[in-house]
Amino acid sequence: MGAHLINGEFQSDKYPTCPPGKVPLSVKDKTAQALLWEYAQRRRSVDAEFSEDLETALRAAGYVPPKITEHEMLITLATMALEMNDLTGHDVIEALKGLGHAEVISESRENDRAELTTLDWMLLSR
């Protein structure tokens, strides 16, 4: 253990020219593809073009992304909107209600302009 740590930072022995603290991953590495796909999703709110390009490269390398449900997509989009501070929790609740996806929300939560919590997401249902 610790063979890849130099001065407390990760250093690849397979790719010694990779800067310390960086982890070399390939879109062609089948064991890294799902992780890279997830990273593209999480990075989208910061750099959408990067995410789109990484997804394209992964698909070109043969990766087939997981299918997600409409509910998961709505939650992802709502979470991204909240992270980008474009919407408040109340706005997201109203939008989901309009789409028929917010069946159980307490009045106190509905009137609260704070961001949605994990409990709120559990209450959003289908």
Nearest Cα to 84, choosing from 125, 32, 48? 48
- CA atoms of 87 and 11, how far apart (whole Å): 41
Nearest Cα to 101, choosing from 73, 70, 124, 69? 124
Task: Specify the residue for token string 């474009």.
Answer: 86
Which H or E element spans position 93? helix 89-98
- CA within 13 Å, CB half, 27: 17
Q: Is the pTM of this model over 0.75?
A: no
| Cβ–Cβ under 8 Å, residues 66 and 97 | no
Q: What is the pLDDT of residues 46-83, one digit of tens each?
A: 899 999 999 999 999 999 998 876 667 777 777 776 66
Nearest Cα to 94, choosing from 73, 109, 76? 109
Q: What is the pLDDT of residues 88-103, one digit of tens each?
A: 666 666 666 666 654 4
Contacts of 60 (CB under 8 A, 6+ apart): 27
